[in-house]
A and B are shown apart, each in its own frame.
Chain A
Amino acid sequence: EAQVTQNPRYLITVTGKKLTVTCSQNMNHEYMSWYRQDPGLGLRQIYYSMNVEVTDKGDVPEGYKVSRKEKRNFPLILESPSPNQTSLYFCASSLSVAFSYNEQFFGPGTRLTVL
């Protein structure tokens, strides 16, 4: 089944403890992206990747890191999480943005709480 998977689905952690949220897609998509969703603020893009080894900042990249060493994986790293990073996080992928008609496929979300 074609899908985007994220792990973990739920995470409670403490300030300053490094964490990684994994994202994997099995559709051979070139484009991958991370978003955070907060009440009243909609979806905000954190980072995106047009292809392997190519990443770029989105609208709210501060406090996050990403890497794209393989086409299928796009982990989100919080080196020193803070309470303002408590949010619902979504990973998404798309075949390519070279052709704008390609839609994004979303993972199920990761709910992160930083105490």
Chain B
Amino acid sequence: GDSVTQMEGPVTLSEEACLTINCTYTATGYPSLFWYVQYPGEGLQLLLKATKADDKGSNKGFEATYRKETTSFHLEKGSVQVSDSAVYFCALSGQNFVFGPGTRLSVLP
């Protein structure tokens, strides 16, 4: 069945550092790919998405590109802020929704 693998962390960075969270997937067909973010004490909210190969999703300075050849959807940000501290989930939508295990990011001032 479909699956999503992502680096589990935790990841600790200093403010203004570069961020990459790796995500790879296995799926039949042509899934859409998503990154969700969960801030402390809250539910998940959509951060960005890409619906076909080579699409780039972006939001709040975060970006991810749908790479069909490497089955990847890595999340990147050039300069993180303390307010980016959260848990990040990679997910796909095919016949059903599948989530990765989540990566906890802590950004220190």
Residues of B within 8 Å of A90, CB to CB, are 43-44
Given contacts A42-B102, A43-B102, A101-B32, contact A108 B97 (CB under 8 A): no
Residues of A within 8 Å of B96, CB to CB, are 45, 48, 97
Chain B, range 70-109, C-beta contacts under 8 Å to A: 89, 93-97, 99-102
What number of residue pairs across chains A and B have CB atoms under 8 A from each other?
54
* Interface status of A104 (Cβ within 8 A of chain B): yes
A106 to B43, CA, bound (A): 6
Select which of B30, B43, B95, B99 is within 8 A of A42 by beta carbon. Answer: B99
B93 close to A42 (CB less than 8 A): no
A90 to B99, CA, bound (A): 13
A94 to B91, CA, bound (A): 14
A97 to B49, CA, bound (A): 15
* Interface status of B17 (Cβ within 8 A of chain A): no
Nearest CB in chain A to that of B51: its residue: A101
Cβ contacts A72-105/B at 8 Å (1 or 0 each): 0000000000000000001010100100111111
Interface size bucket, A side? 20 to 34
Chain B, range 11-59, C-beta contacts under 8 Å to A: 30-32, 34, 36, 42-46, 49, 51
A76 to B96, CA, bound (A): 19
Nearest CB in chain A to that of B95: its residue: A97
Nearest CB in chain B to that of A104: its residue: B97
Select which of A41, A45, A97, A108 is within 8 A of B93 by beta carbon. Answer: A97
Chain A, range 40-57, C-beta contacts under 8 Å to B: 41-43, 45, 48
6 interchain residue pairs of minimum CB distance: A42-B101, A101-B51, A106-B43, A100-B93, A100-B32, A106-B44
22 contacts between A and B (CB under 8 A): A33-B97, A35-B99, A42-B99, A42-B101, A90-B44, A92-B44, A92-B97, A94-B93, A97-B93, A97-B96, A100-B31, A100-B32, A100-B51, A101-B49, A103-B49, A104-B44, A104-B46, A106-B44, A106-B45, A107-B43, A108-B42, A109-B42
